[in-house]
Amino acid sequence: MSTRLSNTLTIGGNTVTNIVSKTVQLDIASTGRAKFEVVAEQEPSGLVELHLGYTLDNMIPYFLGVIESKHQANGRWYLTCRELLGALSFPAPVAVRHPTIKAVLDELTKLGVEFVTPENAEYLNKITPAFYHSGTGIEALRQIGKVWGINDFIFQQRPDGKIFVGSWHDSRWPLAAINDFPEHTITAKSSTTGELIAIPKLRPGIKLNGRYITEVTLINDRMHIRWSNKPLNA
């Protein structure tokens, strides 16, 4: 395995061969954002996909989103991007009587996003008298956790672009916990923040040596992480 981080950036299906710099911030229960400085022959447009890995045959999807703004200077393109989840940052009024969670998510799907929920979670079958909401789609997701009383409720975009909605305990994260990561490789910045080399599978939601990771910021080949010692809750 190489000790150097490799990355593959495609925009609109075209591979970007010259990535000058990259910053990607992912958070639990909010829209991930990214900034790329690239050299490209054509004006970048379309879906933005970033894969990371230390071997070219094992690249892991890390960021999937769209370009929010761009400008060109000195032969380089400067791109500001957001995850697909950002489509829910706009007003999304919802009024449904006697809904399940799925019925509310079906309304939010109209904004062009796709949701996934856990299998066999009891709260998915629970019917509430009414769900009324007049704010953004993001706020509607937070309201779901409160209305249905879901313990350790989270929502986040997965690497495939689908948005998970449900309890942290019903997500993939409990089975993905890392309990034997070398502590000496984490440079503590405060009681809840640190820095380490980029780990492609390290994302908000994962449990790292007992820490619940809430935020991961990738800056070139380093990661800055923020964590909580308590279970996550959106």
What span, in angstroms and rounded, lies between the C-alpha atoms of 219 and 213?
A: 17
Identify the pLDDT of residue 2: 59
Q: What is the CA radius of gyration of the chain?
A: 19
Digit-by-digit pLDDT tens for the chain (234 residues) are: 557 889 999 999 999 989 999 999 999 989 999 999 999 888 999 999 999 999 878 899 999 999 999 999 998 999 999 999 999 999 999 999 999 999 999 999 999 999 999 998 999 999 999 999 999 999 999 999 999 999 999 999 999 999 999 999 999 999 999 999 898 999 999 999 999 999 999 999 999 999 999 999 999 999 999 999 887 776
- Residue 177: name the closest of 167, 164, 165, 168 by CA: 168
DSSP of 48-67: EEEEEESSTTS-EEEEEEEE
Question: What pLDDT score does 144 carry?
Answer: 98
pLDDT of residue 234: 62
DSSP state letters, 149-184: T-TTEEEEE-TTS-EEEEEGGGSSHHHH-B----GG
Domains of the chain by residue range: 6-86
Query: Between the CA of residue 180 and those of 175, 183, 184, 202, 218, what are the distances in Å?
Result: 14, 8, 11, 14, 22
